[in-house]
Homo-oligomer: A and B are copies of this chain.
């Protein structure tokens, strides 16, 4: 089974997810700046979710880059991840339109947590196929971000009922942690370009 279509399909789904979120920014009827006021929380939640989906795309990109063989488990683990990410526009809109109310803010965390779990399962499926000695297995073993994020979500979800600001701050913190470029896999691969360069075709 060829990896190219898995990447192409995932890119397509992620591109649509990241773009349809903007449809929740409903064009207001007024034509002055005050008309934009009620949209501010929707806009802020859009920015946050844009960054999260961007992080997933970037990490997915790295993860799949290390894959050599695709099997049925990897394919379905990938679809499972895309399923949870497909709910991000819904929870983003719900959280934004309700000005970060407790339940929507907690639900947002639940979807992020489930996406994190799905990403972990995808990593496991790939390592099961590639072998415990693979570059990926070594890189993932050191993945402190991947281990910390679900812990932070698990703190933020109940916290949303006590302090929505604190829960929101944790989501922003997780995003910031990941925005620092993910060099896990790059670091283990000593010369990624050399490995690519060995192939007949140019990297394009």
- The chain A residues found within 8 Å of chain B, CB to CB, are 1-9, 11-20, 22-25, 27-29, 31-33, 35-36, 47, 50, 54, 57-58, 61-62, 65, 68-69, 71-73, 75-76, 79, 82-83, 86-87, 89-90, 93-94, 97-98, 101-104, 107, 179, 181-183, 186, 192-193, 196, 199-204
Q: Which of B11, B27, B73, B87 contacts A93 (CB 8 A)?
A: B27
Within the complex, what minimum Cβ distance (angstroms) separates A69 from chain B? 7
Determine the distance from Cα of A72 to Cα of B3 in the docked complex, in whole angstroms: 22
Residues of chain B within 8 A (CB-CB) of A82 are 18
Determine the distance from Cα of A86 to Cα of B20 in the docked complex, in whole angstroms: 9
Prevailing SS type, chain A contact patch: helix
B9 touches A9 (CB 8 A): no
A27 touches B83 (CB 8 A): no
Residues of chain B within 8 A (CB-CB) of A32 are 101, 103
Residues of chain B within 8 A (CB-CB) of A28 are 94
A72 touches B31 (CB 8 A): no
Determine the distance from Cα of A76 to Cα of B29 in the docked complex, in whole angstroms: 33
B94 touches A61 (CB 8 A): no
Q: Which of B71, B98, B181, B183 contacts A181 (CB 8 A)?
A: B71
Residues of chain B within 8 A (CB-CB) of A3 are 203-204
B11 touches A69 (CB 8 A): no
